[in-house]
Structure 1
Amino acid sequence: MYSADPHRYDGRMPYRRCGVSGLKLPVISLGCWHNFGHVDDQNHVRAILRRAFDRGITHFDLANNYGPPPGSAEENVGRCLAEDFAWHRDELIISTKAGHLMWDGPYGEWGSRKHLLSSLDQSLRRLRLSYVDIFYSHRPDPSTPLEETIGALVTAVRQGKALYVGLSKYPPKKLKKAIRMLEDEGVPCLIYQPPYSILNRWPEARGIHEMLMEKGIGSIVFSPLAQGMLTGKYADGIPENSRAARPEGFLQPEQVEAQLDKIRQLNDLANELGMPLHHLALRWVVDQPAVTSAIIGARSVEQLDDSLRALSLAPLGKDVLKRIDKIAPPDPDKEAE
């Protein structure tokens, strides 16, 4: 029987208001993109979720297609929510998304009303919940009218199946239009989710961070370690059994090779500062004024605890930030990954 740590809100985990909303998020959120599928050890799944909550992480980030196989992360987290966290539901922020390929046929992906609302119903069944706290359009649809996608998000809120809505990976022009349309419907965009790290400063370079702060919208970023490139393991090239060495993974060798000089310089800087590279990278991300929360993954309780040690570091000084800017400046031509 799980008993939550009574000291989980003792101040170790900072919480930040999400834009101008009434919602606060932990500065570090737990992402379930990897390590929570049916292929993973379910004892580890349960242990990571319990440890995250005990450390003050109140936000679990999911999507319909997380696994593998697709849907299995929601099933496994849903089982733990029912068995371990039923008494703590009102302390948790559970988010999910729809838009990437989830099932066969013409309605299994993208941004149609059919896909978004059907997917949300499926996610609620897998999560064993009557509502999610945040429901995202996971990616922009180049073919479906934006009005239809936004209308589906509005319906999800008005039906009581989501408390808030968010947008993920939308480019600046479409993001701005979507935000305006949601405002017109009286269902404001709570939060935007882009990839963001020292090696991928796309939202910053394209003016998205500035726009979000002006409009009072939160930003929760994923891949703050650039899919593992900022863990330090790639400073000497691509090791065997690493994510980049697996042909089925999202991180490919050419991506690492293109960033290798920056990785090595950043690793040298981290060593000079007396910290591992991944702590430098996480501290840098959460220090950014536009960032509400950063999503991290974890293969084990030990890895989760190690990542959270970055929060005990002092904010990076101006001289360090200038050196990082020189090594990896914002690139306005870089697209979202």
Structure 2
Amino acid sequence: MPYLASPNRYEKMEYRRCGQSGLKLPVVSLGLWHNFGDNAHFENGRKLIRHAFDHGITHFDLANNYGPPPGSAEQHFGRILQEDLLPYRDELIISSKAGYTMWDGPYGDWGSKKYLVASLNQSLKRMGLDYVDVFYHHRPDPDTPLEETMAALDLIVRQGKALYVGLSNYPAARAKEAFEILKQLGTPCLIHQPKYSMFERWVEADLLDTLADYGVGSIAFSPLAGGVLTDRYLAGIPEDSRAASDSKFLTAEQLTEEKLAKVRKLNDIAQARGQKLSQMALAWVLRGDRVTSVLIGASKTGQIDDAVGMMANRHFSPEELAAIEAILV
């Protein structure tokens, strides 16, 4: 049977304007960093993407190196797009990135014009697209002049291969320089994608203020701190968890008893609010409307349901915020 999207999909989601642009993003977006490569079950990935769209999640975030192996997440997403979502293409925001190693030799990494243009051409081919909605530079390049990297993003928009451009992992000072260059070129930056959660708060020092000053939106990745801000680790480290497998993204050494004690206290506040810890953690990142969207990963449809369910109780009282801050400090 051909896939037919839920007719009620837009009743279940809130959409926020991204910076000072005309684009709105769902407050919950789906990232394909994990669970969509060759090592994942294809039909489960298809189920997740369909389920997300049926719940009003219109934004799907990829990168050239997502997999494993690199490129495979885009390839699998492209197949799902062609077989299921092509009639809904104009309802979707599809993003990709380049900035990490993709092929051998001096032109397969970082931020040169050669690499960025070639990488996006490969991404478009893998996904079967004429353009992506957002194309990011994935990380700052310490050697390539920033003017060259930003000129490449400007060129990509003028070529019609992306509608908007963004940055990821840029510190505030470097982001400000990039915003100025893009503004002069006539292709303003749409969005910044930083790592942000209750346990990763560097953006609060000056990045969020910089984004507001320049009218740039933001989308937070790892808002659940790699799964720590869920009920997964309330009783310790399960044998089948990411931390137990010594993942390079989350290790047992990072889950100290001090941190787990904070997780349990945060969970107590979430329960008093009538929601899961993961839902409260997402709502906390979205508090104050300074973040446009939270970028979640999922391996089960229930995780998408939980994230969307967060919107039923997205706001905090001053007392709740004070109690959370006391735990995090």
What's the TM-score bracket when you normalise by the shorter of the two chains? over 0.9
The number of residue pairs the alignment matches comes to 327
Match of 2:134 in 1: 134
* Shift in Å, 1:47: 0.8
* RMSD, aligned CA: 1.3
Cα deviation code 1:54-99 (max 9, x no counterpart)? 1101100000000111111000100111111111111100000000
Larger deviation: 162-171 or 253-262?
253-262
Contact 2:275 2:310 in 1 (8 A): no
Aligned mates of 1:259, 1:106 — CA distance in 2: 41
After TM superposition, list the pairs within 5 Å mapping 1:295-334 onto structure 2. 295-329=295-329
Q: Deviations over 1:263-282 (max 9, x none)?
A: 23212322333322111101
Q: Say whether the 8 Å CA contact 1:16–1:27 is kept in structure 2.
A: yes
Whether the aligned pair in 2 keeps the contact of 1:4 and 1:53 (CA below 8 Å) is yes
Q: Mapping of 1:202-213 within 5 angstroms?
A: 202-204=202-204, 206-213=205-212
Q: SS at the partner of 1:81?
A: helix
Structure 1 residues 94-125: Cα deviation after superposition (integer angstroms, max 9, x where no partner): 00000012222222211111111110000000
TM-score after normalising by structure 2: 0.96
Equivalents in 2 of 1:21, 1:300: separation in Å? 33
Residue 194 of structure 1: how far off its partner (Å):
0.2
2:80 aligns with 80
Q: Is 2:218 the counterpart of 1:219?
A: yes
Partner of 1:3: 4
- 1:193 paired with 2:193, answer yes
Instruction: Return the TM-score normalized by structure 1.
Output: 0.94
Distance 1:264 1:148 in 2: 47
CA deviation after TM superposition for structure 1 residue 235, in Å:
2.6
CA distance in structure 2 between the aligned counterparts of 1:314 and 1:2, rounded to whole angstroms: 31
2-structure distance, mates of 1:220, 1:323: 25
SS in 1 for 2:96: strand
Give the corresponding residue for 2:253. 254
Superposition map of 1:233-312 within 5 A:
233-257=232-256, 259-312=259-312
3-state DSSP of counterpart to 2:21: coil
Q: Is the 8 A contact 2:285 2:291 kept in 1?
A: yes
Q: How does 1:90-109 map to 2 (within 5 A)?
A: 90-109=90-109
Q: Identity over aligned residues, as a percent?
A: 56
Distance (Å, rounded) in 2 between the aligned partners of 1:65 and 1:81? 19
Q: Deviations over 1:25-50 (max 9, x none)?
A: 00000100001111111111111111
Structure 2 unaligned blocks of 5 or more: none
Opposite residue 3 of structure 2, the aligned amino acid is Y
CA distance in 1, matches of 2:265, 2:281: 13
Residues 155-170 of structure 1 aligned to structure 2 (within 5 Å): 155-170=155-170
Q: Is the 8 A contact 1:243 1:249 kept in 2?
A: no
* In structure 1, distance between residues paired with 2:145 and 2:200: 29
Unaligned runs of 5+ in 1: 330-337
Secondary structure at 1:136 match in 2: strand
Partner of 1:121: 121
Aligned residue for 2:255, secondary structure, equals helix
What amino acid maps onto 1:223 in structure 2? Answer: S
**8 Å contact from structure 2 (residues 246, 252) kept in 1:** no
Q: Secondary structure at the match of 1:288?
A: helix
